[in-house]
């Protein structure tokens, strides 16, 4: 059960780095590589000493796969690496649940913001154009210049909390 305090230390440090303001007062929206590497190393070392290195490596692989998928759909690279590091600490099942909960919470937060900004019709037209482009060209359309950027690490932290509660309920 030592893995959860380590995981929460990692995600809370990532949240701090992600939402910490720069000199201009805007969120930095960066999860540093050194933090992800420290979390990855901590997960592998923790489970190696516990005699369950396979648990960590399978979780790492799942976190990497999910992170690459999220990155493909527009999530930042640091957040994708955060899922990889988190997977090495909490394992495959928990990192999967963390990713699903994070994505669901992000949609619940971000969808009303976009609907308020673009309206239902504007939202529908933009998403329809993106889907059509994807199905025709098999490429995800990046509208990075037009989209509102939102730090994702807080959603990963909330997803990790959901996974922790699930593990506690499942273990009882």
**Three-class secondary structure of residue 27 per DSSP:** strand
In this structure, the number of other CB atoms found within 10 A of the CB of residue 56 comes to 25
Main-chain phi, psi angles of 21, to 5 degrees: -80, 145
What does the pLDDT profile of the chain (172 residues) look like in tens digits? 689 999 999 999 999 998 887 778 777 888 999 999 999 999 999 999 999 999 999 999 999 999 999 988 778 899 999 999 999 999 999 999 999 999 999 989 888 877 888 888 887 887 777 777 777 876 665 554 455 678 899 999 999 999 999 999 988 5
* Whole-structure pTM value: 0.83
CA distance linking residue 79 with residue 67, whole number of Å: 7
Measured at the alpha carbon of residue 40, what is the angle toward residues 38 and 45, in degrees to the nearest 5? Answer: 90
Main-chain phi, psi angles of 151, to 5 degrees: -60, 135
Main-chain phi, psi angles of 76, to 5 degrees: -70, 155
């Amino acid at each position: 059960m030592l893995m959860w305090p380590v995981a929460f230390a990692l995600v809370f440090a990532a949240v701090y780095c992600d939402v910490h303001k720069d000199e201009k007062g805007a969120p930095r929206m960066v999860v540093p590589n050194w933090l992800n590497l420290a979390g990855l190393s901590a997960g592998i070392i923790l489970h190696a000493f516990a005699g369950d290195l396979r648990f960590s490596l399978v979780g790492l692989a799942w976190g990497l796969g999910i992170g690459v998928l999220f990155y493909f759909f527009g999530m930042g690279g640091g957040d994708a690496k955060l899922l990889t590091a988190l997977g090495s600490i909490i394992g495959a099942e928990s990192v999967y649940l963390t990713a699903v909960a994070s994505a669901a919470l992000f949609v619940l937060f971000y969808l009303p913001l976009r609907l308020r900004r673009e309206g239902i019709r504007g939202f529908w037209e933009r998403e329809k154009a993106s889907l059509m482009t994807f199905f025709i060209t098999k490429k995800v359309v990046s509208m990075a210049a037009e989209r509102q950027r939102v730090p994702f690490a807080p959603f990963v932290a909330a997803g990790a909390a959901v996974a922790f509660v699930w593990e506690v309920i499942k273990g009882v």
